[in-house]
Amino acid sequence: MTSSAPARMLFQQAAPPGFGDPQNSWAWAMLWWQDALYVGTHRAWYCAQRTAFTSAVPEFLKKTIGRYIIPPPDPAADCPDSVLDLPMQAEIWRWTPTDGWERVYQSPQDVPIPGHPGRFVAREVGYRYMTAFTESDGSEAMYVSGVNARYLYRDLPAPCLLRTVDGRHFEPIPHDRGTFLGDLDTYTFRSIFDYKGRLFVLTGHMHGSGVLLESANPAAGNNAFRQVSPPGMKIFEMVPFNGYLYLGVHAQDGYAIVRTDASGDPYTFVPVVTQGGYLPAKPSLRPISMHVFQGCLYAGMDRPQTEIIRIHPDDTWDLVIGMPRETPTGWKTPISGIDAGFNTWLNGHIWRMQEHEGRLYVGTMNMSVALRKSPRIHPTNFGFDLYETGDGWHFAPITANGFGNDLDYGVRSLASTPHGLFVGSANNWRAFHVWHGSPILGPAAALPAVNPDQPPTHQLAAFTAPPPERLALEQLDDRVLLSWDPSADGPGTRYHVWRALVRDERTFFQGRPWFRQATRILRVIRRLLPTLRRLRPLAREVYLPPLPEKVWMFQPYERVGVTTETTFLDAPGAEDRHVYYVQAESAEGAYSLASNVVAVPLLTPATTFESLLDWARRAEMPASTLTQLSTAEEQCRRADWLATLETLAALRQTDVDFSVPQYLLDWHVQLDQLSRRVQLCRHGLLSPNHLLSTG
């Protein structure tokens, strides 16, 4: 069977919040390098952002449009009275299993503040990305992308790239004024990667996309860098994949993914996915995160349609989560059955992704905490979501409330280490958290006992039972049939079925006078900002994603049943959308994490013999495999269930040579889905007609 259940991994706090400093807002960068974990921080973000907008908006505008663009004071944040007193020195921390945490670098505060003699601001207010790079002499160094304070004070030096060879001594590479690097008119370096022996770096503005730089000798700095992306191309993210450098491009007609082999003059950029994945209405404009998993490239998007796609080595692509749509290559539905944002509009980014021990972890940016005063947003939505998958089809929630920290609104960094998975959060009001996930061995005893009356996604507890695998859903008129694989704990296991109502709140938001007025004024601001010199930098930062057609928001999960069977029939009603997961309880009283989630109404047709035969033909599988599938279909038509299951089991055991690991996973997932449906027919829970056509 395909293992799609959450790994038996529990998360515990790995460090004091903000490493003991409440002004450490984001754990912005993480890297396991030379037997240590490094974390780069971002400083005082809420206070700095509010100050930046306050100082940029002229006094005569503050009582009109200012109240719509300047974030209001928030008692949750402890901001100093003066911008000059903001504690902005970014930090780099190091962790080893033997020595724990230590600060190995802090940005100097040595940049004169224009117009304020004798006052200085930090050279870097954040460290955004880290990567290892093999130098031309074969030695290895770590490069760190720095962020300057230009969003506070316009006339500051260009941002820095730090370099270290030992993880303890960090120095900025040369960036003298009058050189290419020293004259960059940007705020930040973003993603950095080693590709073909050259260091590729994105640089741009604080929130926005940027341009692609390249250097074969990055330690030299200054004029050793050059821009290699064409004018007008705005790049948000990148990652090497399949021998190419893939770039996530910000485009007004919808996001694009392009690739280059970084050869020729100029470099050629080949489109792979364009026009926002061909979503016809209000697509996302930019990819936020990109990660390679099981031989495919996964790309996660920005709002308003926070979807995930995956790209194969031949540049064909699948929709993983998101709304169904017509594309030039045919109709695409999400293979996971999950809508954008993991079924909620409030997840505004797929912010970070990371593979760890054969599983993909996906963290979101959740907007609910910024809207927490709205009566329509239930507190169950507060905090980031973290999901995991072993096959790209089944996504299981690890937490849906930031591990119990409402103000931790985003997963800002993830790092795979030999000692477990580390998760760093973003928290604009108080300090971030760093979480450590490790297999359930000794550490589980340090966690509180499970509260059986609370959903597992909303508590941090000692979940020690193996979870149910491969939860699936059949929509039968006004009823829902759930089925899953039994827990590995065997006889005596009980299963708790949890269900959440997800409501469309678009009418509510559109109907609020404050929302309509703010939207109109922000549109005016977008047109006004570029015309005023003081406000021009903010024009790049103000982004107004439209509301999608459906503004889905979760209500609390409720337990709707407990059973010892591996099926459950529910009648949720026709209201909006419902999301389910199942939790196991062992005979000894131990509880599991949640299974993968499923939702109704269905967005994706269930697997049938016809759909699997079509997939096998497109995958160019052997004729003998197609014959066996056809045989299984005929056995199903005769209601010879045992023979059908034996044929499908034999197909699963057949040695198939796929060049990409994901293809074998896809084949096994669909065989398992079909076998499950045959079992449901065998037990009289499903009509065979559901298997014999795609209708």
In this structure, what token pair is assigned to residue 324? 């169904």
Label residue 2 by pLDDT band (50, 70, 90).
very low
Q: What is the mean pLDDT of residues 130-155?
A: 95
Residue 441 CB partners (closer than 8 Å, separation 6+): none
Q: How far apart are CA 36 and CA 17, in angstroms?
A: 20
pLDDT tens digits, residue range 676-688? Answer: 999 999 999 999 9
Per-residue pLDDT at 6: 44
Q: What is the largest CA-CA distance in the chain?
A: 89
545 pLDDT higher than 80: no
Residues in the chain: 695
Looking up tokens 């930031």 gives 402
Q: What is the mean pLDDT of residues 71-89?
A: 80
Q: How far apart are CA 102 and CA 435, in angstroms?
A: 16
Q: Output helix, strand, coil percentages for the chain, rounded to the nearest 5.
A: 20, 35, 45
CATH of 9-439, picked from 2.130.10.10, 1.20.1630.10, 3.20.20.70, 2.120.10.30, is 2.130.10.10
* Residue 113 DSSP label: P
* Residue 338 DSSP label: B
Contact assessment for residue 622 and residue 639, using Cβ atoms and an 8 Å cutoff = no
Label residue 4 by pLDDT band (50, 70, 90).
very low
Q: What is the mean pLDDT of residues 36-61?
A: 80
Residue type at 6?
Answer: P
3 state DSSP class of 387: strand
Chain center to CA of 170? 30
What beta strand segments (E) does 135-231 contain?
A: 140-147, 161-164, 171-172, 188-195, 198-204, 210-215, 226-227
Looking up tokens 């300057």 gives 148
pTM for the complete prediction? 0.95
pLDDT tens digits, residue range 243-293? Answer: 999 999 999 999 999 999 999 999 999 999 999 999 999 999 999 999 999
Transcribe 516-579 into DSSP letters.
HHHHHHHHHHHHHGGGSGGGHHHHTT---PPP-S--EEEEEEEEEEEESSSEEEE---SSSEEE
pLDDT tens digits, residue range 493-522? Answer: 999 999 999 999 988 877 766 566 656 655
Residue type at 584?
Answer: A
pLDDT tens digits, residue range 403-445? Answer: 999 999 999 999 999 999 999 999 998 899 999 998 865 455 5
Q: Which residues pair with 521 in a beta bridge?
A: none
CA distances from 265 to 199, 245, 268, 512 (A): 17, 16, 8, 53
Stretch among 105-109, 484-488, 515-519, 537-541 having the lowest mean pLDDT: 537-541
Radius of gyration of the chain (CA): 26
The structural domains of the chain, with segments of one domain joined by +, span: 9-439, 479-600, 609-690
Q: How far apart are CA 412 and CA 396, in angstroms?
A: 19
pLDDT tens digits, residue range 309-367? Answer: 999 999 999 999 999 999 999 999 999 999 999 999 999 999 999 999 999 999 999 99
Per-residue pLDDT at 3: 45
Which of 248, 230, 259, 314 minimizes the C-alpha distance to 284? 248
